[in-house]
Amino acid sequence: MRSSLVLLTALVALAAYYIYIPLPSSVSDPWKLMLLDATFRGAQQLSNLIHYLGLSHHLIALNFIIISFGKKNALSSAQVKVRDTAFDGVEVRVFEGSPKPDEPLRRSIVYIHGGGWALASAKIKYYDELCMAMAEDLNAVIVSIEYRLVPQVYFPEQIHDVVRATKYFLQPEVLQQYHVDPGRIGISGDSAGGNLAAVLAQQFSQDASVRNKLKLQALIYPVLQALDFNTPSYQQNVNTPILPRYVMAKYWVDYFKGDYDFVQAMVVNNHTALDVSEAAAFRAYLNWTSLLPASITKNYKPVVQTMGNARIIKELPQLLDARSSPLIADQEVLQHLPKTYILTCEHDVLRDDGIMYAKRLVNAGVDVTLDHFEDGFHGCMIFTSWPTNFSVGVRTRYSYIKWLDQNL
Ligand SMILES: *[C@@H]1O[C@H](CO)[C@@H](O)[C@H](O)[C@H]1NC(C)=O
Ligand SMILES: *[C@@H]1O[C@H](CO)[C@@H](O)[C@H](O)[C@H]1NC(C)=O
Ligand SMILES: *[C@@H]1O[C@H](CO)[C@@H](O)[C@H](O)[C@H]1NC(C)=O
């Protein structure tokens, strides 16, 4: 009896130790976030073990666990017709909201889910529910792209998939078949999906065949640059749940099929040190003192190494490619972008990626809405239903859909 009590106490202490992480009290529902983070960390560690044992690639194992938490079949409701199909060989899930009585043609959003270019699916419960809500609330057609992921494919294949599916959809005869208004189509995505959406919008603004076909872009806590892992938000949120800095740097390395040995050097900005000549051209974008307001930079100092590691950019030149880091695109590219919404969260390493992009777009003359959530954390917008319901999840989703409703 006594020994089992000791054992139980030890187990509870161990579980508490595993689950507990210090969080600022200003984050939404901190205890729930700790549990969510512990679950995700547990799944990551299990996947790493599976990788170590040689059973499977850790990202395949992790995605298997994520998908087993809630893959959903294409299930229509009274208001929304849901169907899985393919657009030019790329799988998509299409959600068709009912048209408004006075408007025969519907609005439309092409949606790109997040997950570090390696995880999740348009078919998991979280993204299925988000797109259902968008289709219903906006009386719109939502095309959620099931692009291929790392390690099946690497950069720039993910981009090719989303571009191919979107171009197919934008054809007049396809839009007509879906009763979509060609003048009211937007592109959107969250996290790595926000990265792909931003890249696609830039490509389309340069491509005469599709130019001006997107009415807006809506980027939810997007990943926008791989040059600086020491922006104020990276420094502030080094260990913040869901997306610690080290994990984000690893997603980048995975996207480029790079060597994990680079991650430690990247998080101290050794890849963009002053002695790395390839990075010199982008130095101005790294100078966030001119791109971020004083309320954000506070007392944080830029981290610029004098001596770094030139091998990283030699082996992974993709790190300095605007197709992976849309933040570093030329002004001439940015000025043709459509109306833009960017949602950022305070407790997120990517906060400043979004704020800097908003600033560059405003400088380029683009109409931008920056929607910041003081109690938000990375990924929160997909967490709206029990047991992973967060107050800030509900509020971010409401605010995002409201902006779309008013601007699309
Ligand atoms: C960064 O580069 C410097 C100079 O090459 C090196 O001394 C240092 O160990 C590197 N840091 C990391 C974390 O790799
Ligand atoms: C960064 O920008 C600030 C403000 O615009 C400027 O004073 C400073 O010289 C810049 N630093 C570098 C290294 O470009
Ligand atoms: C989550 O949902 C449950 C059950 O509907 C509700 O009681 C609870 O207040 C919700 N929590 C938050 C943070 O929204």
Q: Which residues are catalytic?
A: 191, 348, 378
- For the chain, 408 residues long, give each residue's pLDDT as a single digit of tens: 677 888 888 888 888 888 888 888 899 999 999 999 999 999 999 999 999 999 999 999 999 999 987 889 999 999 999 999 999 999 999 999 999 999 999 999 999 999 999 999 999 999 999 999 999 999 999 999 999 999 999 999 999 999 999 999 999 999 999 999 999 999 999 999 999 999 999 999 999 888 778 999 999 999 999 999 999 999 999 999 999 999 999 999 999 999 999 999 999 999 999 999 999 888 777 778 889 999 999 999 999 999 999 999 999 999 999 999 999 999 999 999 999 999 999 999 999 999 999 999 999 999 999 999 999 999 999 999 999 999 999 999 999 999 999 999
Q: Which protein residue has the closest C-alpha to ligand 2 atom 11?
A: 287
Q: Is 16 helix (H, G, I), strand (E, B) or coil?
A: helix
Contact between residue 373 and residue 397 where contact means Cβ atoms under 8 Å apart:
no
First to last CA, the chain: 65
CB within 8 Å of 186: residues ≥ 6 apart: 107, 108, 109, 110, 214, 215, 216, 217, 218, 338, 404, 408
Residue 261, number of CB atoms within 10 A of its CB: 11
Number of helices (H) and strands (E) in the chain: give both, helices first. Answer: 16, 8
Q: For residue 284, give the ligand nearest its CA.
A: 2
Q: Is 385 in the pocket of ligand 2 (CB under 6 A)?
A: no
Q: Is 314 helix (H, G, I), strand (E, B) or coil?
A: helix
Q: Which domains does the chain have, with CATH numbers?
A: 29-69 (no CATH), 79-408 (3.40.50.1820)
Contact between residue 129 and residue 385 where contact means Cβ atoms under 8 Å apart:
yes
Nearest to 378 by CA among 199, 133, 192: 192
- CA torsion sign for 205, 291, 304, 251 is negative
Q: Is 309 in the pocket of ligand 1 (CB under 6 A)?
A: yes
Integer CA distances (angstroms), 8 to 1, 3, 34, 38, 283, in order:
10, 9, 21, 20, 55
Q: For residue 304, give the ligand nearest its CA.
A: 2
Looking at residue 11, its pLDDT comes to 82
Looking at residue 1, its pLDDT comes to 63
Residue 109, number of CB atoms within 10 A of its CB: 27
Q: Which protein residue has the closest C-alpha to ligand 3 atom 6?
A: 386
Q: What distance in angstroms lies between residue 231's CA and the mean position of ligand 2's atoms?
A: 15
Integer CA distances (angstroms), 149 to 129, 130, 316, 357, in order:
21, 20, 19, 25
Q: Is 290 in the pocket of ligand 2 (CB under 6 A)?
A: yes
Q: What is the pLDDT of residues 362-385, one digit of tens each?
A: 999 999 999 999 999 999 999 999
CB within 8 Å of 56: residues ≥ 6 apart: 50, 64
Nearest to 193 by CA among 45, 62, 382, 38: 382
In the DSSP assignment, the letter for residue 98 is: P
Give 244's Cβ-side CA count (13 Å radius). Answer: 13
**Ligand 2 probe mutation, 269, 282, 290, 303, most atoms within 8 A of CB:** 290
Q: In what order do the strands lie in the sheet with 216-220?
A: 80-87, 90-97, 140-145, 106-112, 180-190, 216-220, 339-347, 368-377
Q: What is the dihedral of CA 210, 187, 344, 379, to 10 degrees?
A: -140
Which residues share a beta bridge with 345? Answer: 373
Contact between residue 245 and residue 238 where contact means Cβ atoms under 8 Å apart:
yes
Looking at residue 6, its pLDDT comes to 83
* Residues in the ligand 3 pocket, defined by CB under 6 Å: 29, 386, 389-391
Instruction: Please tell me the distance from the alpha carbon of residue 322 to that of residue 286, in angstroms, as a whole number.
Output: 14
Residue 260, number of CB atoms within 10 A of its CB: 10
Q: For residue 71, what are its two tokens?
A: 């893959």
Looking at residue 204, its pLDDT comes to 96
